[in-house]
Structure 1
Amino acid sequence: MLLSHRYRFLFVHIAKTGGTSVRAALKPLLWRDPWYYPMWLCGRLNHLTGHRLGMKLPRHAKVILAQELLPREYFEGLFKFAFVRNPWDLQVSSFHHIRRERPHYLGGHTDFADFLRWKLDPDRPYQYHLDTSITPQSDYLVDLEGRVIVDDIGRYERLEEDFAGICKRIGIRPLPLPHRRRAQDRKRDWRTYYTDETAELVARHFARDIELFGYHFDP
């Protein structure tokens, strides 16, 4: 999550949706923020205490956290936005990310289909790096009653175009998006990773996202 007091925006960073590139593009704006250094200091103190002080919005926090922590009038005055991604594509991206950077979290499942079955098993022990990418994306964008409370939802599939529109809403010129964390070893067409069985697993688990954002397995 990225909060700017000067530009009055809140970016809700959902994992594996291009958020690292969005953060990298927007981060220099925070340096112009009059609250940047107090916020940085609070973040450092929070880190040194093992995050016991609760003085920083976590990277992948849900918007409901900001709604609860920030003054109501201030929160409602922020331009709140996020990006979402086709759930089937997101799971392929997550698999390659974990295999590349945290292979010990694969649980011995080096095949995508086996890993996906294990990952979506409700009896599997909780693991942060796995479970951030199986939490429905819609959960990050709603209040306690399930209502979407962000102002703009961009799509990973048209990341640059939608980000340019967000820059306009913020009141800045369109910023270039750096390419971050792009897997070099994955196939371009994510559909080739799936069988009918595993595609249905994702369809059931992310049914709310698929309905809310209008995604399909086939374009």
Structure 2
Amino acid sequence: MLLSPKYRFLFVHIAKTGGTSVRSALEGLRWRDPWYYPMFLCSRFSHLSGHRIATKLPRHAKVVAAQELLPREFFDALFKFAFVRNPWDLQVSSFHHIRRERPHFLGGHETFEDFLRWKLDPRRPYQYHLDTSITLQSDYLIDLHGQVIVDFIGRYERLHEDFETACARIDIQPTALPHARKAQDRKQDYRGYYTDQTAELVASHFARDIALLDYRFDPE
């Protein structure tokens, strides 16, 4: 999550949706924001004291966390946005990311199919790096009553165009998006990773995302 009081935006960073590139493109604005420096000092003091305040929200915090912690008028005035991704494609991306950077979290499940079945097994012990990527994307966008409270939902599938739209809403010039963490060993088409059964597993687990965000296994 990236908060800018000067530019009045809140970027909600959902894992594996291009958010690292978006953060990289926007983080330079911090140095032009006079609020950044007192916010940084407050976050350091709050970290040392053990009392957390909303000067530095967690990287993958949900928008409701900011709504609960920030003053209501201030929160309502922010341009709040996030990016989402096709759930089937996201799971392939997550698999390659974990295999490349944290292979010990594979749990001995070396193929995508075996790993996905294990990952979506509710009896599996909780692991942050696994469970962040199977948390519903819609959970990051809604308040405690289930209402979407972000102002703009961009899509990974048109990341550059939607980032330009977000920049226009923030009233800044769009900067080039760096391509971070690109997997070199994955097939381009996520559909090649799935059987009918594993595709249905994802469809069932992410049913609310698929309905709200209008995704399909076979995009039109």
**Fold-level match, TM-score > 0.5?**
yes
Q: Is the 8 A contact 2:9 2:170 kept in 1?
A: yes
Match of 1:24 in 2: 24
Match of 1:54 in 2: 52
Q: What is the alpha-carbon distance in structure 2 between the residues aligned to residue 43 and residue 18 of structure 1?
A: 26
Q: What is the alpha-carbon distance in structure 2 between the residues aligned to residue 144 and residue 198 of structure 1?
A: 31
Q: Is the 8 A contact 2:141 2:150 kept in 1?
A: yes
Q: Is the 8 A contact 2:43 2:52 kept in 1?
A: no
| Residue 153 (str. 1) matches residue 153 (str. 2) | yes
Match of 1:102 in 2: 102
Match of 1:197 in 2: 197
* Count of residues in Structure 1 that have an aligned counterpart in Structure 2: 217
Q: What is the alpha-carbon distance in structure 2 between the residues aligned to residue 102 and residue 124 of structure 1?
A: 17
Q: Which runs of 5+ in 1 are unaligned?
A: none
Match of 1:11 in 2: 11
| Residue 173 (str. 1) matches residue 173 (str. 2) | yes
Q: Secondary structure at the match of 1:212?
A: helix
Q: What is the alpha-carbon distance in structure 2 between the residues aligned to residue 102 and residue 93 of structure 1?
A: 13
Q: What is the alpha-carbon distance in structure 2 between the residues aligned to residue 187 and residue 44 of structure 1?
A: 42
1:39 positional shift? 1.8
1:45 positional shift? 3.9
Q: What is the alpha-carbon distance in structure 1 between the residues aligned to residue 105 and residue 51 of structure 2?
A: 29
Q: What is the alpha-carbon distance in structure 1 between the residues aligned to residue 39 and residue 102 of structure 2?
A: 30
Match of 1:68 in 2: 68
Q: What is the alpha-carbon distance in structure 1 between the residues aligned to residue 119 and residue 113 of structure 2?
A: 10
**Which residue identity does 1:161 align to in structure 2?**
E
Alignment identity in percent?
77
- TM-score, normalized by length of structure 1? 0.97
Q: What is the alpha-carbon distance in structure 2 between the residues aligned to residue 85 and residue 192 of structure 1?
A: 17
CA deviation map 1:77-135 (0-9, x unaligned): 00000000000000000000000000011111011000000000011111100000000
Match of 1:41 in 2: 41
Q: Secondary structure at the match of 1:142?
A: coil
Mark the CA change 1:110 to 1:66 in structure 2 (over 3 Å): closer, same or farther.
Answer: same
CA deviation map 1:135-167 (0-9, x unaligned): 000000000110000000000000000000110
1:209 positional shift? 0.5
Q: What is the alpha-carbon distance in structure 1 between the residues aligned to residue 111 and residue 47 of structure 2?
A: 36
Q: What is the alpha-carbon distance in structure 1 between the residues aligned to residue 48 and residue 52 of structure 2?
A: 12
Q: What is the alpha-carbon distance in structure 2 between the residues aligned to residue 46 and residue 157 of structure 1?
A: 38
1:35 positional shift? 1.1
- TM-score, normalized by length of structure 2? 0.96
